[in-house]
Protein backbone atom coordinates (compact mmCIF):
# COMPACT_ATOMS: atom_id res chain seq x y z
CA UNK A 1 0.00 0.00 0.00
CA UNK A 2 1.01 3.61 -0.57
CA UNK A 3 0.32 6.56 1.73
CA UNK A 4 -1.13 9.64 0.07
CA UNK A 5 -2.71 12.98 0.93
CA UNK A 6 -5.94 14.63 -0.15
CA UNK A 7 -4.46 17.91 -1.34
CA UNK A 8 -7.59 20.05 -0.81
CA UNK A 9 -5.82 21.19 2.39
CA UNK A 10 -3.41 23.21 0.30
CA UNK A 11 -5.80 24.70 -2.24
CA UNK A 12 -4.67 28.21 -1.25
CA UNK A 13 -0.97 27.40 -1.76
CA UNK A 14 -1.01 26.31 -5.37
CA UNK A 15 -0.24 22.94 -6.91
CA UNK A 16 3.55 23.15 -6.82
CA UNK A 17 3.68 23.99 -3.11
CA UNK A 18 1.05 21.35 -2.32
CA UNK A 19 3.03 18.66 -4.11
CA UNK A 20 6.27 19.79 -2.47
CA UNK A 21 4.77 19.48 1.01
CA UNK A 22 3.28 16.06 0.33
CA UNK A 23 6.57 14.74 -1.01
CA UNK A 24 8.59 16.30 1.83
CA UNK A 25 6.55 14.57 4.55
CA UNK A 26 6.95 11.19 2.86
CA UNK A 27 3.80 10.97 0.77
CA UNK A 28 3.70 8.62 -2.18
CA UNK A 29 0.42 9.69 -3.76
CA UNK A 30 -1.80 12.72 -4.14
CA UNK A 31 -5.57 12.95 -4.43
CA UNK A 32 -6.52 16.13 -6.30
CA UNK A 33 -9.82 18.02 -5.89
CA UNK A 34 -11.60 18.90 -9.11
CA UNK A 35 -14.84 20.63 -8.17
CA UNK A 36 -18.24 19.98 -6.70
CA UNK A 37 -18.01 21.29 -3.14
CA UNK A 38 -14.22 21.36 -3.41
CA UNK A 39 -12.24 24.24 -4.95
CA UNK A 40 -10.59 23.96 -8.36
CA UNK A 41 -7.51 26.00 -7.41
CA UNK A 42 -5.19 23.03 -7.83
CA UNK A 43 -6.83 21.52 -10.89
CA UNK A 44 -9.60 22.88 -13.08
CA UNK A 45 -10.67 20.02 -15.38
CA UNK A 46 -12.47 22.24 -17.89
CA UNK A 47 -9.31 24.31 -18.41
CA UNK A 48 -6.99 21.31 -18.67
CA UNK A 49 -9.27 19.57 -21.17
CA UNK A 50 -8.78 22.50 -23.54
CA UNK A 51 -4.99 22.29 -23.38
CA UNK A 52 -3.05 19.03 -23.75
CA UNK A 53 0.08 20.88 -22.70
CA UNK A 54 -1.41 21.70 -19.30
CA UNK A 55 -2.29 18.06 -18.78
CA UNK A 56 1.27 17.02 -19.58
CA UNK A 57 2.56 19.70 -17.21
CA UNK A 58 0.37 18.39 -14.38
CA UNK A 59 1.61 14.86 -14.95
CA UNK A 60 5.24 16.00 -14.95
CA UNK A 61 4.81 17.99 -11.75
CA UNK A 62 3.43 14.94 -9.97
CA UNK A 63 5.94 12.45 -11.38
CA UNK A 64 9.07 14.53 -10.77
CA UNK A 65 8.27 14.46 -7.05
CA UNK A 66 7.97 10.68 -7.09
CA UNK A 67 4.21 10.76 -6.60
CA UNK A 68 1.22 9.20 -8.33
CA UNK A 69 -2.33 10.57 -8.61
CA UNK A 70 -4.51 8.19 -6.61
CA UNK A 71 -7.76 9.84 -7.69
CA UNK A 72 -9.44 13.01 -8.82
CA UNK A 73 -12.00 14.07 -6.20
CA UNK A 74 -15.24 15.69 -7.33
CA UNK A 75 -17.52 15.51 -4.30
CA UNK A 76 -20.67 17.53 -4.83
CA UNK A 77 -24.44 17.11 -4.95
CA UNK A 78 -25.48 16.47 -8.56
CA UNK A 79 -29.01 15.72 -7.28
CA UNK A 80 -29.47 19.06 -5.53
CA UNK A 81 -33.02 20.43 -6.00
CA UNK A 82 -31.51 23.76 -7.04
CA UNK A 83 -31.06 22.99 -10.71
CA UNK A 84 -28.14 25.40 -11.09
CA UNK A 85 -26.15 23.69 -8.33
CA UNK A 86 -27.06 20.25 -9.64
CA UNK A 87 -26.01 21.13 -13.19
CA UNK A 88 -22.72 22.68 -12.04
CA UNK A 89 -21.80 19.64 -9.93
CA UNK A 90 -22.86 17.15 -12.61
CA UNK A 91 -20.80 19.08 -15.14
CA UNK A 92 -17.79 18.95 -12.80
CA UNK A 93 -18.18 15.18 -12.54
CA UNK A 94 -18.31 14.74 -16.31
CA UNK A 95 -15.26 16.97 -16.79
CA UNK A 96 -13.41 15.07 -14.08
CA UNK A 97 -14.22 11.75 -15.72
CA UNK A 98 -12.92 13.01 -19.06
CA UNK A 99 -9.76 14.39 -17.44
CA UNK A 100 -9.12 11.14 -15.56
CA UNK A 101 -9.55 9.20 -18.78
CA UNK A 102 -7.09 11.37 -20.69
CA UNK A 103 -4.52 11.29 -17.89
CA UNK A 104 -4.74 7.57 -17.13
CA UNK A 105 -6.15 8.04 -13.62
CA UNK A 106 -8.44 5.10 -12.86
CA UNK A 107 -10.46 6.50 -9.95
CA UNK A 108 -12.92 9.38 -9.64
CA UNK A 109 -14.28 10.15 -6.17
CA UNK A 110 -17.88 11.34 -5.91
CA UNK A 111 -20.83 11.72 -3.57
CA UNK A 112 -24.10 10.14 -4.68
CA UNK A 113 -25.96 13.33 -3.78
CA UNK A 114 -29.27 14.00 -2.08
CA UNK A 115 -32.44 15.35 -3.73
CA UNK A 116 -35.17 17.37 -2.09
CA UNK A 117 -38.62 16.11 -1.16
CA UNK A 118 -40.31 17.04 -4.45
CA UNK A 119 -39.69 18.62 -7.82
CA UNK A 120 -40.39 22.00 -6.18
CA UNK A 121 -37.97 21.57 -3.27
CA UNK A 122 -35.38 24.23 -2.47
CA UNK A 123 -32.91 22.24 -0.35
CA UNK A 124 -31.90 18.55 -0.03
CA UNK A 125 -33.92 16.34 2.30
CA UNK A 126 -31.96 13.56 4.04
CA UNK A 127 -34.42 11.11 5.59
CA UNK A 128 -33.32 9.37 8.80
CA UNK A 129 -36.46 7.44 9.82
CA UNK A 130 -39.25 5.47 8.08
CA UNK A 131 -42.22 6.93 9.97
CA UNK A 132 -44.60 8.61 9.32
CA UNK A 133 -45.24 6.70 6.11
CA UNK A 134 -44.58 9.69 3.87
CA UNK A 135 -40.88 9.39 4.77
CA UNK A 136 -40.74 5.85 3.39
CA UNK A 137 -42.53 7.06 0.28
CA UNK A 138 -40.05 9.92 -0.04
CA UNK A 139 -37.06 7.56 0.19
CA UNK A 140 -38.53 5.41 -2.59
CA UNK A 141 -39.18 8.48 -4.75
CA UNK A 142 -35.65 9.81 -4.25
CA UNK A 143 -34.05 6.51 -5.24
CA UNK A 144 -36.40 5.53 -8.07
CA UNK A 145 -36.74 8.94 -9.66
CA UNK A 146 -33.43 10.64 -8.88
CA UNK A 147 -30.55 8.56 -7.51
CA UNK A 148 -30.66 5.47 -9.71
CA UNK A 149 -31.56 7.18 -13.03
CA UNK A 150 -28.86 9.83 -12.62
CA UNK A 151 -26.11 7.37 -11.74
CA UNK A 152 -27.10 4.94 -14.47
CA UNK A 153 -26.55 7.74 -16.96
CA UNK A 154 -23.31 8.92 -15.33
CA UNK A 155 -21.98 5.36 -15.06
CA UNK A 156 -22.60 4.86 -18.77
CA UNK A 157 -20.72 8.10 -19.43
CA UNK A 158 -17.83 6.93 -17.26
CA UNK A 159 -17.61 3.57 -18.99
CA UNK A 160 -17.76 5.24 -22.41
CA UNK A 161 -14.70 7.24 -21.33
CA UNK A 162 -12.88 4.19 -19.99
CA UNK A 163 -13.40 4.93 -16.28
CA UNK A 164 -14.48 1.82 -14.39
CA UNK A 165 -14.12 3.05 -10.81
CA UNK A 166 -16.50 5.69 -9.53
CA UNK A 167 -15.61 5.82 -5.83
CA UNK A 168 -18.54 6.89 -3.66
CA UNK A 169 -17.78 8.41 -0.29
CA UNK A 170 -20.41 7.16 2.14
CA UNK A 171 -21.34 10.40 3.86
CA UNK A 172 -24.27 11.23 6.18
CA UNK A 173 -26.59 13.77 4.59
CA UNK A 174 -26.16 11.90 1.32
CA UNK A 175 -28.35 9.13 -0.07
CA UNK A 176 -25.39 6.72 -0.01
CA UNK A 177 -24.17 6.98 3.58
CA UNK A 178 -23.47 3.37 4.60
CA UNK A 179 -22.38 0.07 2.99
CA UNK A 180 -25.96 -1.14 2.61
CA UNK A 181 -26.84 1.90 0.48
CA UNK A 182 -23.61 1.63 -1.50
CA UNK A 183 -24.39 -1.96 -2.36
CA UNK A 184 -27.96 -1.00 -3.26
CA UNK A 185 -26.68 1.50 -5.82
CA UNK A 186 -24.03 -0.93 -7.09
CA UNK A 187 -26.71 -3.58 -7.53
CA UNK A 188 -28.89 -1.19 -9.53
CA UNK A 189 -26.14 0.32 -11.68
CA UNK A 190 -23.23 -2.12 -11.89
CA UNK A 191 -19.69 -2.64 -10.67
CA UNK A 192 -18.50 0.73 -11.93
CA UNK A 193 -19.92 1.79 -8.54
CA UNK A 194 -17.57 1.26 -5.61
CA UNK A 195 -16.57 2.86 -2.32
CA UNK A 196 -14.16 5.57 -1.32
CA UNK A 197 -14.25 4.19 2.20
CA UNK A 198 -13.66 6.77 4.92
CA UNK A 199 -13.85 5.07 8.34
CA UNK A 200 -14.45 8.38 10.11
CA UNK A 201 -17.95 8.67 8.65
CA UNK A 202 -18.79 5.11 9.64
CA UNK A 203 -17.53 5.31 13.24
CA UNK A 204 -20.03 7.88 14.44
CA UNK A 205 -22.93 6.08 12.79
CA UNK A 206 -22.05 3.00 14.86
CA UNK A 207 -20.73 1.06 11.84
CA UNK A 208 -17.60 -1.07 12.26
CA UNK A 209 -15.26 -0.13 9.37
CA UNK A 210 -13.54 -3.53 9.48
CA UNK A 211 -16.87 -5.28 8.94
CA UNK A 212 -17.72 -2.70 6.25
CA UNK A 213 -14.55 -3.60 4.34
CA UNK A 214 -15.31 -7.30 4.65
CA UNK A 215 -18.88 -6.88 3.39
CA UNK A 216 -17.94 -4.53 0.54
CA UNK A 217 -15.01 -6.70 -0.55
CA UNK A 218 -13.99 -5.98 -4.12
CA UNK A 219 -16.23 -2.90 -4.12
CA UNK A 220 -13.61 -1.02 -2.05
CA UNK A 221 -11.95 1.21 -4.65
CA UNK A 222 -10.22 3.92 -2.60
CA UNK A 223 -9.56 4.77 1.06
CA UNK A 224 -9.62 8.00 3.03
CA UNK A 225 -7.47 7.75 6.15
CA UNK A 226 -9.31 9.77 8.76
CA UNK A 227 -10.37 8.99 12.31
CA UNK A 228 -13.26 9.89 14.62
CA UNK A 229 -13.25 10.17 18.38
CA UNK A 230 -16.53 9.38 20.12
CA UNK A 231 -17.08 11.38 23.31
CA UNK A 232 -18.95 8.88 25.47
CA UNK A 233 -20.07 11.57 27.92
CA UNK A 234 -21.71 13.74 25.27
CA UNK A 235 -22.97 10.73 23.31
CA UNK A 236 -24.79 9.48 26.42
CA UNK A 237 -26.52 12.88 26.67
CA UNK A 238 -27.38 13.77 23.08
CA UNK A 239 -26.66 10.75 20.87
CA UNK A 240 -24.73 10.96 17.60
CA UNK A 241 -26.99 13.18 15.47
CA UNK A 242 -25.00 16.22 16.55
CA UNK A 243 -25.39 19.37 14.46
CA UNK A 244 -23.19 21.69 16.53
CA UNK A 245 -20.26 23.36 14.79
CA UNK A 246 -17.17 21.23 14.31
CA UNK A 247 -15.27 24.01 16.06
CA UNK A 248 -17.27 23.39 19.24
CA UNK A 249 -15.47 20.10 19.76
CA UNK A 250 -15.71 20.09 23.57
CA UNK A 251 -19.51 19.96 23.38
CA UNK A 252 -19.87 17.53 20.47
CA UNK A 253 -20.60 13.82 20.82
CA UNK A 254 -18.00 13.02 18.15
CA UNK A 255 -15.17 14.77 16.36
CA UNK A 256 -12.99 14.07 13.36
CA UNK A 257 -9.42 13.29 14.43
CA UNK A 258 -6.06 12.51 12.92
CA UNK A 259 -5.56 8.75 12.53
CA UNK A 260 -4.58 7.21 15.84
CA UNK A 261 -6.30 9.89 17.93
CA UNK A 262 -9.77 8.38 17.69
CA UNK A 263 -8.85 4.70 17.52
CA UNK A 264 -5.53 3.14 18.32
CA UNK A 265 -3.04 0.87 16.65
CA UNK A 266 -5.15 -2.26 17.15
CA UNK A 267 -8.02 -0.89 15.07
CA UNK A 268 -5.84 0.44 12.27
CA UNK A 269 -3.88 -2.81 12.01
CA UNK A 270 -7.14 -4.76 11.81
CA UNK A 271 -8.56 -2.33 9.25
CA UNK A 272 -5.50 -2.48 6.99
CA UNK A 273 -5.26 -6.25 7.35
CA UNK A 274 -8.89 -6.61 6.25
CA UNK A 275 -8.21 -4.36 3.27
CA UNK A 276 -5.42 -6.71 2.24
CA UNK A 277 -7.64 -9.73 2.84
CA UNK A 278 -10.28 -8.47 0.37
CA UNK A 279 -7.63 -7.58 -2.21
CA UNK A 280 -7.22 -3.83 -1.70
CA UNK A 281 -3.58 -2.86 -2.17
CA UNK A 282 -3.68 0.73 -3.31
CA UNK A 283 -3.54 4.11 -1.53
CA UNK A 284 -4.46 5.23 1.98
CA UNK A 285 -5.22 8.91 1.32
CA UNK A 286 -4.92 11.08 4.44
CA UNK A 287 -7.75 13.58 4.84
CA UNK A 288 -7.05 16.10 7.60
CA UNK A 289 -10.13 17.55 9.35
CA UNK A 290 -8.88 17.49 12.93
CA UNK A 291 -10.01 20.68 14.71
CA UNK A 292 -7.48 20.16 17.51
CA UNK A 293 -4.32 20.05 15.37
CA UNK A 294 -2.66 22.21 12.76
CA UNK A 295 -2.63 20.87 9.23
CA UNK A 296 1.09 20.10 9.25
CA UNK A 297 1.12 18.45 12.66
CA UNK A 298 -1.92 16.37 11.79
CA UNK A 299 -0.45 15.30 8.46
CA UNK A 300 2.98 14.42 9.78
CA UNK A 301 1.55 12.43 12.69
CA UNK A 302 -0.83 10.61 10.35
CA UNK A 303 1.95 9.86 7.87
CA UNK A 304 4.22 8.38 10.55
CA UNK A 305 1.37 6.39 12.11
CA UNK A 306 0.23 4.90 8.81
CA UNK A 307 3.74 4.04 7.64
CA UNK A 308 4.19 2.07 10.87
CA UNK A 309 0.98 0.05 10.53
CA UNK A 310 0.46 -0.26 6.75
CA UNK A 311 1.59 -3.29 4.75
CA UNK A 312 3.75 -2.47 1.75
CA UNK A 313 5.24 -5.78 0.56
CA UNK A 314 3.62 -8.71 -1.18
CA UNK A 315 2.94 -11.68 1.07
CA UNK A 316 5.10 -14.73 0.46
CA UNK A 317 3.96 -18.31 0.15
CA UNK A 318 3.67 -19.74 3.67
CA UNK A 319 6.73 -21.89 4.45
CA UNK A 320 4.60 -24.11 6.67
CA UNK A 321 2.28 -25.40 3.93
Nearest to 107 by CA among 67, 158, 154, 148: 158
Cα angle 145, 147, 150 (rounded to 5 degrees) comes to: 90
CB atoms within 10 A of CB 188: 16
Query: Left, alpha or beta for 162 (phi > 0: left; psi -120 to 50: alpha)?
Result: left
Q: pLDDT per position in the chain (321 positions), as tens?
A: 999 999 999 999 999 999 999 999 999 999 999 999 999 999 999 999 999 999 999 999 999 999 999 999 999 999 999 999 999 999 999 999 999 999 999 999 999 999 999 999 999 999 999 999 999 999 999 999 999 999 999 999 999 999 999 999 999 999 999 999 999 999 999 999 999 999 999 999 999 999 999 999 999 999 999 999 999 999 999 999 999 999 999 999 999 999 999 999 999 999 999 999 999 999 999 999 999 999 999 999 999 999 999 988 888 888 787
Within 8 A by CB and 6+ apart from 271, the residues are: 199, 209, 210, 213
Q: What is the pLDDT of residue 320?
A: 82
Q: What is the pLDDT of residue 173?
A: 96
| Residues 188, 95: Cα–Cα separation, whole Å | 24
Residue spans of the domains in the chain: they are 2-309
Q: DSSP letter at 218?
A: G
Q: Which fold has domain 2-309?
A: TIM Barrel (3.20.20)
β 227-230/254-257 pair status: antiparallel
| Residues 220, 173: Cα–Cα separation, whole Å | 21
| Residues 228, 284: Cα–Cα separation, whole Å | 16
| Residues 211, 202: Cα–Cα separation, whole Å | 11
| Residues 240, 164: Cα–Cα separation, whole Å | 35
Nearest to 16 by CA among 43, 52, 51: 43
Amino acid sequence: MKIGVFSVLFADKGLDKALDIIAEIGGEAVEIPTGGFAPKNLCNPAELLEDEGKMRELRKKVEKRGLIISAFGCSGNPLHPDKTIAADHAGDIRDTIKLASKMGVERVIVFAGCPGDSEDAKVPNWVTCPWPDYYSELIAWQWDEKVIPFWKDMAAYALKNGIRKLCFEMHPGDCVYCPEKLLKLRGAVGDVIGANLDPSHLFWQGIDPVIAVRDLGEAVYHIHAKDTKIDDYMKSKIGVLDTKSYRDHINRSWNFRTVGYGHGVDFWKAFISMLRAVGYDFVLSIEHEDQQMSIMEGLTKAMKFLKDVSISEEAEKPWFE
